[in-house]
Structure 1
Amino acid sequence: MQREAFLNQVQERGEYPTRTEAERAARIVLALLGAHLVGEVRAELAARLPETFALILLNPLQAAEPLSPERFVRATAAWIEGATEQTATWDIGAVLSVAADAAGEELTQRILLQLPPGYDLLFGRPQDTTAPEHSPPNR
């Protein structure tokens, strides 16, 4: 995906008035995400992102432990000046949904397997967690 196309989509989904705001959100969210992905999955996602953002993903902030989705939102809010948890959730959704589109469904599923439960909502890919109902056996 080209840089301009990626940023256009982030700007549109995040409803940012300027490209600068979209780029700031993308840089911060991808830096935090990169700290939580490892190996082939991180490399494959990076290969599908524009080079600028691929480098950010591959040279992430260091994470001592995987963050729950709630802590990921709080960390994002801490890095974005003036952000609240609500605005950070919006920023994350804008960036990660575009990244998921670039990644495709198969890679997105492998990414979600590396992350704590609940990230599917941040990626805009809610998973069906309901257990299938069991029918009584036919007699």
Structure 2
Amino acid sequence: MDIAGMLSPPYGLVSLFGLSLLASTLVPLGSEWLLILLIVEGYPAPTTVAVATLGNSLGAVTTYLIGIFGSDVLTRRVLRLSAHDLHRAGTMYRRFGVWSLLLSWVPIVGDPLCLVAGALRTPLPLFLVLVPLGKVCRYSALAFLTLQGLR
């Protein structure tokens, strides 16, 4: 399948979901480029934002669960988080508390923040409010800027 076929409905949204999920877990990728491309190709912005937010949030839950149940091997080998990344995330989490989870979308510190939240046993319902809220704000801002650029 070529790139045009991957972007045709429903593959574009499925691809966005998968890339968003992977981007917040195992693979050092970004999903923003695909969100922008899909909007430029005519996909509805609210739908693309919702799909990207859901995928990215579920990926963050995976990282959170690794923080609760995982080992140092998972943290370092699978997530590829360095001691420095974890220290920086831990410092931010201790300083700002659970509110730092609103920044779970930020490159470099976002994934470690989710891991630290799990390791510190942040209540899952609170995690499930703050993390998607931060992610939907980021994707909404990208969608808004993309739509402004198309005018």
TM-score, with length taken from structure 1: 0.30
TM-score, with length taken from structure 2: 0.28
